[in-house]
Structure 1
Amino acid sequence: MMLLTSGTRGDVEPFAALARYATAQGHRVRLGVPENSGVDLSGLDTVSLDVDFHRLMRTHGLSPWTAVRHFRSEVGPGMRRMFSAAVRETLAFDPDLVLHHPLILTAPAVADALGVPRALAEFVPVATPTREFPAPGGPTVATDLGRFNRTTYAVPRSGARLFRRDVERACRQLPGGRAPAPASASRATLMGISPQLLPRPADWPARVHLTGSWHDGAGVPAPDPAVTEFVRGGPCLVATFGSMSAGDPSALGRTLVDSARAHGLRTLVITGWGGLALPEGSRGDDVLVVPAAPLDAVLPDAALAVHHGGAGTVHTVARAGVPSVVVPFLVDQPFWGRQLHRLGVAAPPIPRRLLTAETLVPAVGDALARRERAQRVGRAVREEQGLRTALDVLGTL
């Protein structure tokens, strides 16, 4: 089977886990991935899709005109390379099945050209409409429109039209020099999402499978000994905004440390792509700043997490059984922030532009009071067999 994923770490990690699990079950698997994802891919048969999403996502803080130029100079060419690489590498592998991320827009055409079934993988439910909530990341994400919620899914789907010509160009590599038309529907959609975090909507069709999260723990590195010693040295707040960066990183770092100290907590600051930093005046023995750390390894010893609410981070925090404060930046993150609060495992989300000590100090207190509920949810998430369920579904296609 050919697995094709796009995006950043939160999109690549679950695909890598499924590739590792399917290979261990005796399947012939190749994984197409973006460059520079930061995910451990050792032992896997992988190929590059010729795109670096670190470069594509460098738009935070840019003016509208600069953002347009960035789209023309980075995003457009990067997506074109990815579409082409997906076709080229899939043809070279000649799989009996294609499983792909929604952004791999050439996957339907190449699967049809090979005459093999394909399935869609979602870690944020943006391609499968429902009346129960609006499309995560859409313009009405904060407004429940009732029976009109389904109409909001037209917005993310319409984004594919921006790349129609690029898809057609990539498909010139196919036998006959063009894509079969119209593309056949996917045989199944695999939602690599925990039902503990998102109960299955009643109006999803039967071909949509809520498998549970895709996680095996095999690719989780051991943290630096200094990090382990720090998080085990007393109640600790773990702060990370992952790939997000906006505003003043030092001011954000100061707000996090001051809010943790207000509750007698120590702070592990994971700077990620540069969204967090620590000014000199906030340093102390109760603060440790590192560029990266494996959340699966450090969070079980934490008192709570403050994070951006990306789908991958949300599941990692939930699996660890710790409460959180979500500070959403964009796209699906407000959706997950509200969802975790609704489930009772997080304080009400704080939009990044409203993040101050005055808003974060009470939110940390709120989150700490939810620890028992977070631990119960964590135990249930850890019992899920998402990889086995996903592979079982693929075996029926």
Structure 2
Amino acid sequence: MRMLLVTAGSRGDVEPFAVLARQAQAAGHAVRLMLPDNSGVDVAGLATVSLGVDYSGLIQQQGVSLAAVLRSYRSVVRPAMRQVLIGSARAALDVVPDVLVAHPKILSAPLIAGGLGIPFVWVELVPVMTPTAAFPAAGTITRNLGPFNRLTYQVAAGGAAMFRQDLSDVARMVGGQGSARPPASATLMPISPAILPRPADWPPSVHLTGPWRAAAAGVMPDEVSGFISEGGFVYAGFGSMAAGDPVARAREVIGGIRAAGSRALLATGLGGLALPPDVAGADVLVTTSVPHDAVLPRAEAAVHHGGIGTVQAATAAGTVSVVVPFIADQPFWGARLHADGLGPAPIRRRALTSPRLADALGQVGQYRPAVREAARAMAAEDGPAAALAVLEGLHR
């Protein structure tokens, strides 16, 4: 079976696709993975195609705020999105896959599938496309609107209108029935039911598989290994969230962790944290990144932005999350964890202070039993295998 997997975004958008690609390749399928440049994800041994867009570079240049996106829409966002849409169509014409597996940012996926006469599958890393009355679409609001929650999913559906001309160009490229937009044959959500219980009103074509995580632990730098071996530390990292003042943020984070009586392991990522020299000390270690699967199980708590990748990594490790959301789906996950009894109430980015963080860290103990129970449930999941079974079922 020939598979084309196409994803767009930062590391958290790429890593699950790489895991699925390895699973499919190991099962004997011919897999091509199309991904952004410089994602930081290990794709050794996989057949890859460049999407021609460097999302990590864009984040470092302009940050992650909505204001920055709006300012650079014509000069940066629109050209990058055109490259994504046209590039994915070209890759599909080159590979002619039996199935197309696409991130929701690949708005051209239905057109490509229609033109080539093949099934396509959405990969909803977070719930933004499949309507439900159970909760609002991630990235919209966090307040439960009951039956009106379904209306919030129209936000994602309306995104295609902004790139109408680019999509028309894709339709001409793929020919055939390229103007048709067939529905997805399936939707895969690499999310654990321990974190997001399946709503009763989702159709059977939606599969909550459990996370797609690499099986092997990452390599831990010696200085990190030495630091955590002494015990009693809190992990803090905000991934690619380069927004606001990273120095001021690190000052508050370190102050809060110290006030809670712990040492601090800070991961600077793409600029979310930067150590102020005057608060450095033997109880603080700063590194660019850490292998979550090796570090989080030993942390007293994890302070992070609430991206689904980090949420699932921390929960699978049995580690309570203190979420400081920045944008998009992050407030959704912070609210979900708190509502489900898996963590303290999230702290808004602009409201992050040492006392607030210390207070949240002081609550961690009461959530630990529930998080460890969720970790036990997640240990029994095999998300990549479940996802591959769905894809193979489409080709029978």
TM interval, shorter chain, is over 0.9
Alignment partner of 1:378: what SS? helix
Residue 51 of structure 1, aligned match among 50, 53, 57: 53
Residue in 1 that maps onto 2:187: 189
Report how far residue 236 of structure 1 moved.
0.8
The 3 A distance-change label for structure 1 pair 226 and 81 is same
- AA at the equivalent of 1:377: A
Report how far residue 325 of structure 1 moved.
0.4
Give the alignment of 1:26-105 within 5 angstroms: 26-57=28-59, 58-60=61-63, 64=67, 67-105=69-107
The 3 A distance-change label for structure 1 pair 375 and 63 is closer
The 3 A distance-change label for structure 1 pair 252 and 107 is same
Percent identity over the alignment? 49
Q: Is the 8 A contact 1:250 1:279 kept in 2?
A: yes
Alignment partner of 2:363: what SS? helix
- AA at the equivalent of 1:173: M
Alignment partner of 2:227: what SS? helix
Cα distance in 2 for residues equivalent to 1:67 and 1:341: 29
Residue 326 of structure 2, aligned match among 301, 325, 329: 329
Q: Is the 8 A contact 1:120 1:186 kept in 2?
A: yes
TM-score by length of 2: 0.95
More displaced, 203-212 or 48-57?
A: 48-57
Alignment partner of 1:30: what SS? strand
Consecutive unaligned residues in structure 2, runs of 5 or more:
none
- AA at the equivalent of 1:302: A
- AA at the equivalent of 2:209: T
Cα distance in 2 for residues equivalent to 1:395 and 1:299: 34
Cα distance in 2 for residues equivalent to 1:62 and 1:288: 28
TM-score by length of 1: 0.95
Cα distance in 1 for residues equivalent to 2:125 and 2:193: 12
Cα distance in 1 for residues equivalent to 2:32 and 2:101: 11
Q: Is the 8 A contact 1:130 1:201 kept in 2?
A: yes
Cα distance in 2 for residues equivalent to 1:383 and 1:120: 24
Per-residue Cα deviation, 1:308-343 (whole angstroms, up to 9, x for no partner): 001111111111110010000111101100111122
Cα distance in 2 for residues equivalent to 1:60 and 1:92: 34
Report how far residue 62 of structure 1 moved.
6.9
Give the alignment of 1:231-380 within 5 angstroms: 231-380=228-377
Alignment partner of 2:207: what SS? strand
Cα distance in 2 for residues equivalent to 1:359 and 1:158: 37
Report how far residue 61 of structure 1 moved.
7.9
Residue in 2 that maps onto 1:15: 17
Cα distance in 1 for residues equivalent to 2:214 and 2:56: 25
Cα distance in 2 for residues equivalent to 1:171 and 1:50: 20
The 3 A distance-change label for structure 1 pair 211 and 61 is closer
Report how far residue 306 of structure 1 moved.
0.1
Report how far residue 63 of structure 1 moved.
9.2
Q: Is the 8 A contact 2:123 2:189 kept in 1?
A: yes
Cα distance in 2 for residues equivalent to 1:390 and 1:227: 34
Per-residue Cα deviation, 1:178-234 (whole angstroms, up to 9, x for no partner): x6232111111111110000000010011111111111324x530111111111211
Q: Is the 8 A contact 2:188 2:206 kept in 1?
A: yes
- AA at the equivalent of 2:164: R
Cα distance in 1 for residues equivalent to 2:201 and 2:69: 37
Report how far residue 67 of structure 1 moved.
4.4
Alignment partner of 2:156: what SS? helix
- AA at the equivalent of 1:77: P
Residue in 1 that maps onto 2:118: 116
Report how far residue 91 of structure 1 moved.
1.2
Residue in 2 that maps onto 1:107: 109
Per-residue Cα deviation, 1:40-83 (whole angstroms, up to 9, x for no partner): 1111111111111124445448795x643411111111111111
- AA at the equivalent of 1:375: R
Cα distance in 2 for residues equivalent to 1:258 and 1:360: 8
Cα distance in 1 for residues equivalent to 2:62 and 2:223: 33
Consecutive unaligned residues in structure 1, runs of 5 or more:
none
Report how far residue 255 of structure 1 moved.
1.1
The total of aligned residue pairs comes to 391
Cα distance in 2 for residues equivalent to 1:71 and 1:377: 40
Residue in 2 that maps onto 1:150: 150
